Chains A and B, each alone.
Chain A
Amino acid sequence: MGYSGVRGGQEAIEAAERLVERARFGGHSRWLELDQITERLGPAVDRVMGEGGLWAPHLAARAVRQSQGDLLEAAQLLRAHRSTLPRLGYSLPADTAELPAVRRVAPAHRNPPGGQLLGRSADFTPRLLDLGPEGPAGAHTCEVPNGPDLPHDRLPESAGSDPEAVLRDAGLLPDRRNTDDPEPYDITRAPARPGTPRSARLSAMARAETGSLTHLWYTCGRSPRHQSPEIPLELRRGRLPLRVTHPHTGRPVTVAAVQVTEARTVRPIARPRPDGTRFDLGYGLCFGENEPKALAMAGLDLLVHRDPHTDRLEQKVLIALDGPEASGFLEHLKLPHYVDFRSTMERVQAVRAAAGGRA
């Protein structure tokens, strides 16, 4: 039997793709080059790498360009690309104490051990839309500032002293470190679901969609049950060296330096719970420059640790925050559903008939 009868859908898809390509490759402006995206749209690239779960700036830039700036779609492209690659091994554990921080704020202390480093941040730049004149195509309209770096633009090399340890030593923090050093739970190889270890939760949040994570933190962290104040101990950014065991020599070798944002946060035990003698501690670490994500992650790690079951918070953190999953499921509603619509319609009509034809 020929295939002529089933080409309708195929032709429609190809026509739709031609229209998309016309929008992607058409127009009068210059073609976006990958360096432009990684340099000028850094946070977008970082976000896609985080949500895509793959550290690869140029691949992420390709994804951003291909998705025409739709970052959820770009993360989906990066995830699908991951699936084409075999899993050859795991990196050695990375210690973020080694992180050479280019930015570090410690809101809980005026002058913390190791110092504060504002670093590159627009936090205190007035949120005013830049309405400066557009220059000719390709030209900079602003001079690159050339002022001197301030002496405190760099932390002393020995600034590893961490405020968490200070509190822990004083008996004010629970020690949440594992002493048995279990292998991390790989959520790309086995599904994360309630009851999986903390490493699954942290991985799920590191890959979570930034907006969803922000929303969940915003709605849960401010509920009456959690009225105790949340104060971050530390928020840091920097490039973290990653090592693997060299397959030939057996020695550790650094294969990448990935940019990360790390956050630690504390809350006192919420009143009127018993045991108000200590703080709870939460931790967040994500790819790239994404401070809201690391903060929300730390806040939610703390809340799940404190009370995983109320409002099924642990379950939400594990299964409701993934960008490609949520957006994919939402958009699947666009697929044809006429077979189940007929089935549903038949039941509604049957209920009407059973009710004597009354609505």
Chain B
Amino acid sequence: MNDQLTARLAGPPPQPGIFDELSKREIRRAMLSGIAIPGYQVPFGSREMPVARGWGSGGLQATLSLVGEDSRLKVIDQGEDAGVNASNLRRLVVSHVGCEEETDTRHADIIQSRHRIPEQPLRDGQVLVLQVPGAEPLAGIVRDMDEQRRMHAEADYAKMWVRLYEDVVHNGLITAAAGYPVLVEGRYIMTPSPIPRWDVPKLDRSEAITVLSAGREKRIFAVPPHTSVVPLTFEDRPFEVEHTPGAACRLCGSADTYIVQEPAADGRFTTWVCSDTDFCRRRRTGDAPAPAQPVQGETA
């Protein structure tokens, strides 16, 4: 009798491993709140994960709360499936949940990523989980957290605009690199994790859900499908994505993907490769959308 009662009070036995079921439910609630208020940073009781804070503990909590045994999971870091960090997070989730590993973006249900959005346009039903080291776009403008929250609450973003204007005055252009500030659905300013500017247009009216999860800062925010995401800039200053004239991937020849430098035979960083290794491989086998016209200007 007593044993039964104790067992009932204790609830179902915890799944051995990483994360208890009640916590997963809490994370899902936070994600739903984020989806309901696009771009708003939802505070949540972020749990410690078997990876250090800052190493994807937020993304891991979101992914673990979403995947089931029949999910196909893709994990990338810097666009690459094979990197040490991506491999580590993938094996953690797969060993805990027993879901399917996937590298082809088209077939993944959930994509956990650090610093990139895949080149392959995402489709309805997919969830992109981005790891976020710093959730607050106003952190570099005002240091007081109370003031940051007030500014968001009142949509008082004047100081952000002044900062961008000062940048233009001092440097001749807006120097924000990765994590470029965006306005979500005309309401909240958001930092889209440090994805390159190249990836920012992919967030706009995406078919997929984007969940951004900051474990250390204990905030989750989201961009639901078909939501407008507009990079902050001035009418006479078109938004500029990364572009190096004449550069193209040495493997697949693409000039319409995000490419990163690699040392050439002479040891100098003069050649380029795609950062999205899955898309690059598919380009080489003719299994990817054909290259668009080479990028002409620097605007997107």
Contacts and interface: CB of A to CB of B under 8 A. Distances in A.
Contacts of B84: 9, 12-13
Interface string B47-89: 1111011110100000000000000000001110111111110
Nearest to A326: B53
A193 interface: yes
A315 B143 CA distance: 10
B281 interface: yes
A190 B219 CA distance: 10
A354 interface: yes
Contacts of B17: 84
A323 B179 CA distance: 26
Which size bracket describes the interface of A in this complex?
Answer: 35 or more
B166 interface: no
Interface string A167-190: 000000000000000000010111
A344 B177 contact: yes
B265 interface: no
Given A9-B82, A82-B48, A195 B146 contact: yes
Interface in B258-300: 258-261, 275, 277, 281
Interface in B13-69: 14, 16-23, 26, 43-50, 52-55, 57
A331 B54 contact: yes
Contact of B20 (A76, A86, A188, A319): A86
A339 B44 contact: no
Nearest to B19: A83
Interface stretch (B3-11, B227-235, B249-257): B3-11
A327 B48 CA distance: 13
A351 B103 contact: no
A312 interface: yes
Contacts of A347: 173, 175-177
Interface string A313-349: 0010001001011011111100111111011101100
B196 A342 contact: yes
- Residue from A190, A319, A343, A351 whose CB has the most chain B CB atoms within 10 Å: A343
B206 to A, nearest CB: 19
B85 A329 contact: no
Contact of B82 (A6, A322, A339): A6
A83 B52 contact: no
Given A12-B84, A247-B6, A84 B20 contact: yes
Contacts of B18: 80, 83-84
A87 interface: yes
A342 B260 CA distance: 6
A83 B103 CA distance: 29
Contacts of A190: 43-45
A85 B275 CA distance: 38
Nearest to B104: A1
A85 B104 contact: no
A3 interface: yes
A79 interface: yes
B80 to A, nearest CB: 8
- Residue from A9, A80, A193, A315 whose CB has the most chain B CB atoms within 10 Å: A9
A83 B47 CA distance: 6
Contacts of B78: 336-339
B57 A338 contact: no
A344 B178 contact: yes
B19 A86 contact: no
Given A191-B46, A247-B6, A329-B216, A87 B22 contact: yes
Given A9-B82, A13-B88, A86-B22, A343 B16 contact: no
Interface residues of B, number: 80
Nearest to A10: B87
A83 B20 contact: yes
A76 B52 contact: yes
A332 B54 contact: yes
Contacts of A350: 173, 175, 240
A328 B55 CA distance: 7
Contacts of A88: 9-11
Contact of B83 (A193, A247, A332, A336): A336
- Residue from B54, B196, B217 whose CB has the most chain A CB atoms within 10 Å: B54
Contacts of A188: 45, 47
B48 A332 contact: no
Interface string A188-203: 1111011100000000
Contact of B81 (A6, A189, A325, A327): A6
Contacts of A355: 171-172
A62 to B, nearest CB: 15
Contacts of A195: 146
B144 A315 contact: yes
A88 to B, nearest CB: 6
Nearest to B219: A191
A40 interface: no
B185 interface: no
B52 A8 contact: no
A315 B145 contact: yes
B53 A329 contact: yes
A148 interface: no
B258 A339 contact: yes
A189 B277 CA distance: 38
A93 to B, nearest CB: 21
7 closest cross-chain pairs (CB), A and B: A328-B53, A332-B54, A354-B172, A328-B52, A9-B87, A79-B48, A340-B178
24 contacts: A3-B101, A9-B84, A13-B84, A76-B48, A79-B48, A80-B48, A83-B48, A84-B18, A86-B14, A189-B26, A189-B45, A190-B43, A193-B43, A315-B144, A325-B54, A335-B55, A335-B77, A335-B85, A337-B115, A339-B116, A340-B194, A346-B177, A346-B244, A354-B173
Interface of B: 2, 5-6, 9-11, 14, 16-23, 26, 43-50, 52-55, 57, 77-79, 81-88, 91, 101, 103-104, 114-116, 133, 143-146, 171-173, 175-179, 194-198, 216-219, 240, 242-244, 258-261, 275, 277, 281
